[in-house]
Chain A
Amino acid sequence: MIDLEERLRATLSAHAADAPPPRQLLHRVRAESRRRRRRRRAGTAGALILASAMLAMAGYATNWTGSGGQYPARDGAAPGMAHTAVRLVPGQPPAVAFPFTPRTSPPGLGEPVVMLIGGEPTLQYGPGVGGRAMTVTLSQRTPTDPGAVVLPVRPGRSVVIRATEHFDLKTLRTYVSGFVDKPLAMAAPFTFELVPAGFTVDNVSPAAVTFAPPGVPPDAGFSDKIAVLLNKGSADGRRVTAEGVTVYRILGDGRTLAVQVPASVALTDSDLDRFAAGIRPTAAAVAGQG
């Protein structure tokens, strides 16, 4: 027993040296703590707005019913939130391209679709048979999720691979070694007549595009961003909630275009209508489930 315990102590002491160094740990803790504080405040403000709206509903319910059951028009962004003023300018979101073209696909996965996820060009495989899927992201960020595999492609450039099931490293290395230095472009899902000035496009998929306001770091979420979504179904009109406003436009082919604007973005109703009217799905767009 003593021998085993000694070996155990030696093993733990030896492997403790492999622990990661505390790179900017304090800085990251402070930044994350600030971000959560902001979210809590926004959540509290949202709850207060919702409570006010529910109290007001009693008085205005008759008027809503009288106007054909429509939600009332929004007078701008909800109060109490930090507002980002928006100016619409003619333009298109930047083209998305993955800088390498894979020669092969990993076993069981078909052709990839290029997307922009959290501001990072990404190859998306699947989901296919049995829900198999894989993403390959050209990333500068160190992944924090367990199971993500980082593989170098060229000196100073690495990809992060995430998959729904196990692929051995040899298979993944062979796949990455087949990358050719030729950008693989994404077919844009929408064209825009107008875009919000100063906003950053951080997500583009065949069904959605998000515009992040200045100061909102790119991520894979839709919170605090203007989101354009192509959905199946036939929702129409305008829906106002504590989180913001959504305008629906029926396209007449079983699909609906939805434009979500968070309460923190001050886009007037007329500008929102102009923005939504200038969006057209392309042949590459694929409707999501909404």
Chain B
Amino acid sequence: MASRGHALLRFAYLLSADRYLAEDLTQEALVRAHRRWTSIQRADPEPYLRKAIVRQYLSWRRRRSSTETILADLPERPDPSPASDQVVERDEMWSLLAALPPSQRAVLVLRYYEDLPDADIGEILGCNESTVRVHAFKALKRLRAATPPRPLTLRTSRD
């Protein structure tokens, strides 16, 4: 559990885009798992913990959307440096990801960060493969519509 803590935090952070919430989600998943650790440990505990984090995240989003109001952004994230276009582009993509519905975002994180097949993603989200593909299709469609295509770069022979 201790050795994989950081990986789980990274995963929770990519889902929630919030450092504090990521800590909360991970801690809650681990506390719940702690009660049944002996039985969980027999199998590979990491898929179980990922599933717990995703479920926590989705139910938190449902609760928040019905009861809470977003107050303000946390100020601790450093301002984006005026660095390369790539950094700007990643920040744009990150903002677009944050605007996706939680299930679609979860599918993208599981597919493109965790590299899981759709069947495993469906198992984690509690839906079938075709639903996963629909979520992924809609999410990618929204991202594509919002991101301008990269300009073609002409290479010269001196490159």
Q: Is A154 an interface residue (CB 8 A)?
A: no
Nearest-neighbour CB distance to chain B for A110, whole angstroms, equals 19
Instruction: Determine whether the beta carbon of B71 is less than 8 Å from that of A151.
Output: no
Q: How far is the CA of A150 from the CA of B147 in the complex (A)?
A: 33
B112 surroundings in chain A (CB, below 8 A): 5, 8-9, 12
B46 surroundings in chain A (CB, below 8 A): none
Q: How far is the CA of A22 from the CA of B11 in the complex (A)?
A: 12
Q: Is A19 an interface residue (CB 8 A)?
A: yes
Q: Is B76 an interface residue (CB 8 A)?
A: yes
Interface residues of B in 53-109 (CB under 8 A from A): 64, 68-77, 86, 89-90, 93-94, 97, 108-109
Q: Is B31 an interface residue (CB 8 A)?
A: yes
Type the 1/0 row for A1-33, where 1 means its CB is closer than 8 Å to any CB of B. 101110111111111101111100110111011
Nearest-neighbour CB distance to chain B for A31, whole angstroms, equals 9
Q: How far is the CA of A29 from the CA of B112 in the complex (A)?
A: 29
Point out the residue from A14, A16, A144, A167 that lies within 8 Å of B23, measured CB to CB: A144
Instruction: Determine whether the beta carbon of A4 is less than 8 Å from that of B75.
Output: no
Tell me the nearest residue of chain B to A31, going by C-beta.
Answer: B31
A167 surroundings in chain B (CB, below 8 A): 71-72
Q: How far is the CA of A147 from the CA of B23 in the complex (A)?
A: 14
A30 surroundings in chain B (CB, below 8 A): 34
Interface residues of B: mostly helix, strand, loop or mixed? Answer: helix
Nearest-neighbour CB distance to chain A for B14, whole angstroms, equals 6
Using C-beta atoms within 8 Å of the partner chain, give the interface range for chain B.
Answer: 35 or more
Point out the residue from A18, A36, A145, A164 that lies within 8 Å of B77, measured CB to CB: A18
If A147-B70, A147-B72, A149-B75 touch, whether A32 touches B31 (CB-CB below 8 Å) is: yes
Instruction: Determine whether the beta carbon of B10 is less than 8 Å from that of A4.
Output: no
Q: Is A185 an interface residue (CB 8 A)?
A: no
B22 surroundings in chain A (CB, below 8 A): 19-20
Instruction: Determine whether the beta carbon of B19 is less than 8 Å from that of A20.
Output: yes
Using C-beta atoms within 8 Å of the partner chain, give the interface range for chain A.
Answer: 35 or more
Q: Is B2 an interface residue (CB 8 A)?
A: yes
Nearest-neighbour CB distance to chain A for B149, whole angstroms, equals 7
Instruction: Determine whether the beta carbon of B93 is less than 8 Å from that of A7.
Output: yes
Q: For A8, A9, A151, which residue has the most chain B Cβ atoms within 10 angstroms?
A: A8
Type the 1/0 row for B95-128, where 1 means its CB is closer than 8 Å to any CB of A. 0010000000000110011000000000000000
Q: How far is the CA of A3 from the CA of B151 in the complex (A)?
A: 12
Point out the residue from A9, A26, A162 that lies within 8 Å of B71, measured CB to CB: A162
A5 surroundings in chain B (CB, below 8 A): 112, 140
Q: How far is the CA of A16 from the CA of B144 in the complex (A)?
A: 22
Q: How far is the CA of A10 from the CA of B97 in the complex (A)?
A: 13
Q: Is A253 an interface residue (CB 8 A)?
A: no
B97 surroundings in chain A (CB, below 8 A): 8, 11
A103 surroundings in chain B (CB, below 8 A): none
Q: Is A142 an interface residue (CB 8 A)?
A: yes
Q: Is B158 an interface residue (CB 8 A)?
A: no
Type the 1/0 row for A138-158, where 1 means its CB is closer than 8 Å to any CB of B. 000011111111110000000
Instruction: Determine whether the beta carbon of A1 is less than 8 Å from that of B10.
Output: no
Q: List 6 A-B contacts (CB under 8 A).
A: A7-B90, A19-B10, A22-B6, A33-B34, A149-B74, A162-B71
